[in-house]
Chain A
Amino acid sequence: MSITRQDVEKIAALANLALTEEEIQTFTVQLSSIVSYVEKMNELDTTDVEPMSHSTLSGDTSYTRREDDPKPSLGADLALSNAPDSGDGHFKVPKVIG
């Protein structure tokens, strides 16, 4: 299955990427080639196979849980320390509603 220019534009919008015209053209070709390669997976019958999301889940699962006791966290000042724009303990962003 090949990827069309419209597919690339739709995916870019979903991924919040403002691609240039050149990027749209390149990605249309490259993603088509990658997607036709991964179609190889269809050769395998997986009808009765359980999906695996995480390798630890196939073995001992006890260590993925812990007591729900609160511990100290970073705090607002440190959390904001790398923000491009902030003030009054908040992140600042451009206008949300036009």
Chain B
Amino acid sequence: MELVGLTVDKFHSALKSGETTVEAVCKATFDRIEKLNPDLNVYLTVTKDSALERARQLDQQLAAGAELSPLFGVPTAIKDNICTKDVRTTCASKILDTFKPPYSATVVERLEAAGAVVVGKANCDEFAMGSSNENSAYGSVRNPWNLEHVPGGSSGGSAAAVAADLCIVALGSDTGGSVREPASFCGVTGLKPTYGRVSRYGLVAFGSSLDQVGPISKNAADSARVLGVIAGRDWHDSTSSEISVPDYLAALTGDIKGLKLGVPKEAFVEGLHPEVKARIQESIKNFESLGAEIVEVSLPHSEYAIADYYIIATAEASSNLARYDGVKYGFRDADAKTLQEMYKKTRDHGFGSEVKRRIMLGTYVLSSGYYDAYYLKAQKIRTILEQDFRKAFEACDLIVMPTAPVPPFKLGEKTDDPLAMYLADIYTVTINLVGVPGISIPSGFTSDGLPIGCQLIAPHFEEARLLQAADAYERSYPSNRYPNI
């Protein structure tokens, strides 16, 4: 069975016709991982034995007449900040190098209950902090389209695994763009659901008011399928919503005639790379030719989003990461003589520099004397940003804008300047602050053959509308290009 471009739909058709088996596709996936992972550095842990055993069980069930569950036999990659029972989960950090969670995240349990076969744990930026995947303690992931370029971050391993056909679907997490930006850089589809749509139980916390788990896949239909499985209330996460989960696959009608697509005038400003601008404008025209009505909207406070995000996200991170102190799990500095010394040395030796930088910034903005000026101010601006979106959605059904202001950049290009790296998140962070869902879909390539992503944004809990538009676009304007690896 050809793995390149293989989607769940095609895989399930081949299973039904007897053309392939779950075991055959899983084995072929592991062969491909063995061949390509040394170059791409996508997987930190590969779960070959358990996956092949499970594949054989699923084949037996199929032979005995079992119905195909939504993700039956689907080789799936899980970002390494999502807990998998008894399977090493490092968050790409030295501080959790040996951590084997005693439980699985709700999203993993739900995927497995729907038939998915976990093939491995995907590399990412340490604790999901980064936009290039260069902050992993286990080395950078390479972009399958050009090994000298970054795959985006923080779910760079998940996106590169999908792009390089080292799995069929993957889970990432998105705190400020970490599913959408790597999906854009790797030429695949990545969805950040509404805050509260998907349980965060077992997702290692970074910014708890922003984090969401989301699918990365080769088309919108597969993202719809995965979201339908992982979405919904979970008593382990009190912020998970009781709003019922619609049938996302049924929403993919291919028809978006009359859909009002809002283009924020603030999105096409200086700093936007000319090739990104050209592709997105082309995509907007394509939407129009599919029957969408293009309207101009305004998100007047967009320029404050990066500042706002890096206050709120780092404040929450500094608090969440206080738990890594060498006591309960992971690395402990063995030389320390006292408890206090043990905490400090464990954290200094266990965390990488970006994580420490964010803990420092977050601690500073929460510290006495600065709380009102930074953290409280940022929370108020968050309210203003949400009002911007509410107002914009009065005039349109979806918003369209670039996913990232630049195409995939070169490894090492931005590592010396943290602020320049933060600015790569300019189109994605607001969506997390406001809590609405967003998706990145392929929007063509640069003249150098690097992928560019187009972002669609919907009001809270309108993922069906988002996926419908993404799917309609992908059907009429399929990318049909694969990395040459």
Q: List residues of chain A with CB under 8 Å of any chain B CB.
A: 3, 7-8, 11-12, 14-20, 23, 26-27, 30-31, 33-35, 37-44, 46, 49-56, 58-60, 62-66, 71, 74, 78-79, 81-85, 91, 93-96, 98
A15-B383 in contact (CB<8A): no
Give every chain B residue within 8 A of A11 (Cβ-Cβ): 360, 363-364, 367
Interface residues of B in 355-407 (CB under 8 A from A): 356-357, 359-361, 363-364, 367, 374, 376-384, 386
B343 within 8 A of A: yes
B104 within 8 A of A: no
B325-A16 in contact (CB<8A): yes
A91-B339 in contact (CB<8A): no
A-B contact pairs, 24 of them (CB 8 A): A16-B343, A17-B347, A27-B357, A34-B310, A39-B307, A44-B301, A44-B304, A46-B381, A49-B380, A51-B379, A51-B383, A54-B209, A55-B196, A56-B239, A56-B241, A58-B383, A63-B243, A66-B238, A82-B99, A82-B328, A83-B328, A83-B329, A91-B328, A94-B342
Contact A95-B360, Cβ < 8 Å, known A55-B209, A66-B235, A82-B102:
no
Contact A44-B384, Cβ < 8 Å, known A34-B419, A54-B209:
yes
B379-A53 in contact (CB<8A): yes
A95-B329 in contact (CB<8A): no
CA distance A54 to B341 in the complex (A): 35
Closest to A19 in B: B348
Closest to B314 in A: A34
B383-A52 in contact (CB<8A): yes
Contact A12-B360, Cβ < 8 Å, known A40-B304, A66-B238, A93-B339:
yes
A96-B360 in contact (CB<8A): no
CB distance from B277 to the nearest CB of A (A): 24
CB distance from B160 to the nearest CB of A (A): 28
CA distance A9 to B13 in the complex (A): 61
Contact A79-B311, Cβ < 8 Å, known A11-B363, A14-B367, A91-B328:
no
Give every chain B residue within 8 A of A3 (Cβ-Cβ): 364
Closest to A65 in B: B238
Give every chain B residue within 8 A of A31 (Cβ-Cβ): 357, 360-361, 364
CA distance A44 to B347 in the complex (A): 37
Give every chain A residue within 8 A of B433 (Cβ-Cβ): 55
CB distance from A97 to the nearest CB of B (A): 9
A51-B380 in contact (CB<8A): yes
Give every chain B residue within 8 A of A19 (Cβ-Cβ): 348, 356
Closest to A15 in B: B363
Contact A23-B102, Cβ < 8 Å, known A16-B344, A52-B383:
no
Contact A41-B377, Cβ < 8 Å, known A49-B383, A55-B386, A84-B331:
yes
Interface residues of B in 303-362 (CB under 8 A from A): 303-304, 306-308, 310-311, 318, 322, 325-332, 336-345, 347-348, 351, 353, 356-357, 359-361
A55-B435 in contact (CB<8A): yes
Contact A44-B381, Cβ < 8 Å, known A12-B360, A64-B238:
yes
